[in-house]
């Protein structure tokens, strides 16, 4: 039987195929289809099955990462949505936290609310912070709101009442009334999506969930339909932002949890590989066609966060802590009003793409600069399946950049790459040195189609001593999906001054979370031996505004002293100090339920010398310091373990290209990774 991992990117859709019998791994890549991402998935799987002579009935598992929800938010293409909220809180969505997006630039404004004011309706109801009903729900007002939404043709409805996280009674009744009036409208209740306090973040997250829900559901329907047409009976899973897999039903209910779907898989996969090869501390560096995603893996585990912004909108849900910037192979090079050279954040995307791809692109991109300097193959890519327009790439760089700025082709192309590298380096420092981590203790794990092209220059700029390039780095996110378990995150707000006496309330919250997890395991058909749970307590000193996360193995009556010790350690790690004697306040109780699934193992590669893998030479520009140099070109697939290469060199494979400068060298490890140590 076979397992398939899929990552839908902005430019390419990547596939990883694993044979469960012999653990052989194969890779595939097709251009993305932004108008309907499921089309590229169908085309790619059909091609994969045909190439390897696999019957559809032999596919036992499909996992996929998608940017559909993220793109709907970024492009403001969510479904028309209505909001029903507590009287007096209609404008919370617009007021927010009154924090300016850019402290010094008054020209940068907040994004428009997802729900316009005319579709935000207040109703009389009030439950207090302890969960007691103060004002009964005005059911007639809810019914009138639903009628107005139906008349306006809205496709989705959000219900978010002030203290529903403590008592969901009013929200659930309001949801029943909306269903009675509007039938199968897409409905999101904040007590289901995010049962936490802080009404603005809860409201924003629930509104986004509702807005992307209808179109996400239609995308999933098309996806499943294409699998049926291919004869694949296994129901696909989708990776969510916390690095686990979700069933189709769960994705339909909580699409907002997929906002970092694909990138999270890459970080999880990198962590698994890093632990296996002896590099537990990694900076993950994923450069795709439209963006660069960077994250930190510390002591073998990805770092997580419970809050971030997507296109300016707060999203509060557990997720891998990934920093995203608009710098990828398709990022456009342009001149601002003062004539200065800029790169990104806007991208040529998959269509029309870089000029070098001959799909109608007319703007110079990072990829065009790589082709012009012959760092990328100037003839074909994807193992000969994609022709490259070298002359077109050179022409557009000269016309749009070199000529207007008085630069040679080499200067223009190198300028584009240096600006892109500086932007990428800044992103890396934001998740590492700015948070107290020394980059000299980390290795740069470079993947994505363009990651290995930029990795050595970025590592030198950041002071990172080692670069690791995995096999077929352009498909690492798809590979990471096959290294991931099924999981779901549960949370209960438990705002309580913690003491030995009140600790029992925290224990009770975790007992209720255990029940939630057990019900989820049953719904996902996870057997007893494959179940595990991870417990976390969000806590802070009294008077603080934000919490630290305290991991707990168990939460029972005897664990109070352990919690206090763990909180002190977590607070010291996060803030660099502790306050002896100050009271501690528990805010949220969290539980991650994990259902273990069979995973693709890391296969070892046979030994082999580098000479057997050399396919030729070409002149490559290695920067102003070295100029054009005749550079050996190697076929990555033929490099065996133990092979050593002294720079300069170019290592080509189906999904990516790695460029080694004249002062660098590499060795291939037992698992086929390129290990490059910088002097």
For 276-303, write each residue's pLDDT tens digit: 999 999 999 999 887 888 999 999 989 8
Same domain, 305 and 445: yes
Give the pLDDT of residue 221. 93
Q: Are residues 531 and 558 in the same domain?
A: yes
Residue 183 confidence class, pLDDT cut points 50, 70, 90:
very high
Q: What average pLDDT does this structure show over 340-364? A: 87
pLDDT band at 168 (very low <50, low <70, confident <90, very high): very high
CA triple 205-211-212, angle to 5 deg: 95
Task: Please give the average per-residue pLDDT across 253-261, as a whole number.
Answer: 88
* CA–CA separation, 369 and 382 (whole Å): 18
Work out the mean pLDDT of the chain and round it to a whole number.
91
Mean pLDDT across the stretch 346-371? 89
Does 239 map to a domain? no
Domain of residue 92: give its range.
76-216
Count of residues for the chain?
A: 679
For residues 324 and 301, membership in a common domain is answered with yes
Question: Residue 425 domain-assigned?
Answer: no
Contact indicator for 156, 80 with CB cutoff of 8 Å:
yes
pLDDT at 600 over 70: no
Burial class (CB in 10 A: 0-12, 13-18, 19+), 229: exposed
pLDDT tens figures, 452-500? 999 999 999 999 999 999 988 888 888 888 888 899 999 998 888 999 9
Query: Rg for the chain (alpha carbons), in Å?
Result: 26
Higher pLDDT pick, 291 / 611? 611
Residue 451, pLDDT score: 93
Question: Which of the listed residues 207, 229, 251 is the one where a domain comes to its end?
Answer: 229
* Lowest-confidence segment of 156-160, 311-315, 490-494, 584-588 by average pLDDT: 311-315
Whether 601 maps to a domain, the answer reads no
Question: Is a pLDDT exceeding 70 seen at residue 314?
Answer: yes
Among positive and negative, which fits the CA dihedral 162, 217, 525, 7?
A: negative
What pLDDT, on the 0 to 100 scale, is given for residue 508? 94
Q: Which of 361-375, 535-549, 598-612, 620-634 has the lowest mean pLDDT?
A: 598-612
Q: Is the pLDDT of residue 395 over 90?
A: yes
Q: For residue range 57-66, what is the model confidence (pLDDT) as tens digits?
A: 999 889 998 8
Residue 497, beta-bridge partner list: 585
* Residue 573 pLDDT: 83
Q: What is the pLDDT of residue 585?
A: 95
Report in angstroms the alpha-carbon separations of 203 from 83, 94, 161.
9, 11, 9
Per the structure, how many domains does the chain have? 6
Residue 387 within a domain: yes
Do 358 and 379 fall within a single domain?
Answer: yes
Helix (H) or strand (E) run with residue 102 in it: none
pLDDT(214) > 90: yes
pLDDT attached to residue 666: 95
- Over 80: is that where the pLDDT of 679 sits? no
Q: Are residues 415 and 340 in the same domain?
A: yes
Please report the pLDDT score of residue 298 as a whole number.
Answer: 93
Average pLDDT over residues 29-44: 88
């Amino acid at each position: 039987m076979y397992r398939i991992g899929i990552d839908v990117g902005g430019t390419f859709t990547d596939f990883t195929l694993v044979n469960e019998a012999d653990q052989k791994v194969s890779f595939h890549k097709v251009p993305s289809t932004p108008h309907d991402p499921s089309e590229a998935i169908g085309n790619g799987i059909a091609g994969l099955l045909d190439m390897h002579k696999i019957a559809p009935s032999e596919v036992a598992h499909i996992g996929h990462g998608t940017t559909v929800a993220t793109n709907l938010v970024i492009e403001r293409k969510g479904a028309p949505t209505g909001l029903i909220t507590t009287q007096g809180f209609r404008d919370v969505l617009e007021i927010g936290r009154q924090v300016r997006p850019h402290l010094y630039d008054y020209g940068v404004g907040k994004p428009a609310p997802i729900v316009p004011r005319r579709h935000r309706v207040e109703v009389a109801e009030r439950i207090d912070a302890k969960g007691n009903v103060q004002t009964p729900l005005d059911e007639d007002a809810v019914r009138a709101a639903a009628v107005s939404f139906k008349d306006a043709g809205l496709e989705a409805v959000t219900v978010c009442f002030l203290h529903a996280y403590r008592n969901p009674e009013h929200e659930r009744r309001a949801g029943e009334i909306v269903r009675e009036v509007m039938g199968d409208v897409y409905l999101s209740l904040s007590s289901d999506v995010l049962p936490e306090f802080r009404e603005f973040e809860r409201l924003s997250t629930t509104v986004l969930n509702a807005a992307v829900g209808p179109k996400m559901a239609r995308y999933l329907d098309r996806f499943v339909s294409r699998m049926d047409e291919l004869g694949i009976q296994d129901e696909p899973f989708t990776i969510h932002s916390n690095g686990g897999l979700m069933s189709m039903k769960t994705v339909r209910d909580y699409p907002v949890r997929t906002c970092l779907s694909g990138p999270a898989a890459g970080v999880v996969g990198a962590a698994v590989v890093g632990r296996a090869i002896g590099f537990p501390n990694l900076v993950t560096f994923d450069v795709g066609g439209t963006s660069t995603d960077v994250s930190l893996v510390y002591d073998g585990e990805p770092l997580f966060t419970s809050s971030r912004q997507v296109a300016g909108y707060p999203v509060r849900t557990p997720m891998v802590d990934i920093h995203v910037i608009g710098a990828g192979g398709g990022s456009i090079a342009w001149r601002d009003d003062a004539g200065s050279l800029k790169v990104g954040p806007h991208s040529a995307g998959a269509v029309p793409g870089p000029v070098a791809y001959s799909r109608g692109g007319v703007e110079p991109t990072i990829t065009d600069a790589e082709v012009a300097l012959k760092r990328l193959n100037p003839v074909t890519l994807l193992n000969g399946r994609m022709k490259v327009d070298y002359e077109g790439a050179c022409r557009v760089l000269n016309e749009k950049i070199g000529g207007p700025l008085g630069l040679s082709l080499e200067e223009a192309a190198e300028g584009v790459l240096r600006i892109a590298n500086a932007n990428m380096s800044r992103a890396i420092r934001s998740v590492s040195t700015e948070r107290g981590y020394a980059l000299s203790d980390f290795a740069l794990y470079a993947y994505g189609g363009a990651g290995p092209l930029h990795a050595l220059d970025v590592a030198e700029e950041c002071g990172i001593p080692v670069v690791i390039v995995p096999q077929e780095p352009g498909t690492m996110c798809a590979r990471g999906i096959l290294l991931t378990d099924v999981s779901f995150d549960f949370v209960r707000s438990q705002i309580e001054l913690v003491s030995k006496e009140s600790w029992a309330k925290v224990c009770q919250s975790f007992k209720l979370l255990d029940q939630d997890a057990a019900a989820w395991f049953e719904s996902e058909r996870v057997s007893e031996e494959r179940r595990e749970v991870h417990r976390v307590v969000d806590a802070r000193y009294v008077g603080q505004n934000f919490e630290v996360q305290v991991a707990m193995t168990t939460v029972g009556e005897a664990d109070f002293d352990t919690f206090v010790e763990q909180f002190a350690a977590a607070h010291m790690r996060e803030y660099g100090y502790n306050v002896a004697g100050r009271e501690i306040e528990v805010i949220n109780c969290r539980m991650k339920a994990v259902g273990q699934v069979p995973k693709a193992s890391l296969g070892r590669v046979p030994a082999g010398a580098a000479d057997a893998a050399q396919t030729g030479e070409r002149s490559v520009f290695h920067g102003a310091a070295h100029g054009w140099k005749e550079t050996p070109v190697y076929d990555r697939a033929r490099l065996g373990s133990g092979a050593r290469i002294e720079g300069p060199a170019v290592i080509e494979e189906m999904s990516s290209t790695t460029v080694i400068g004249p002062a660098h060298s590499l060795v291939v490890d037992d698992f086929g990774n390129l290990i490059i140590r910088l002097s």
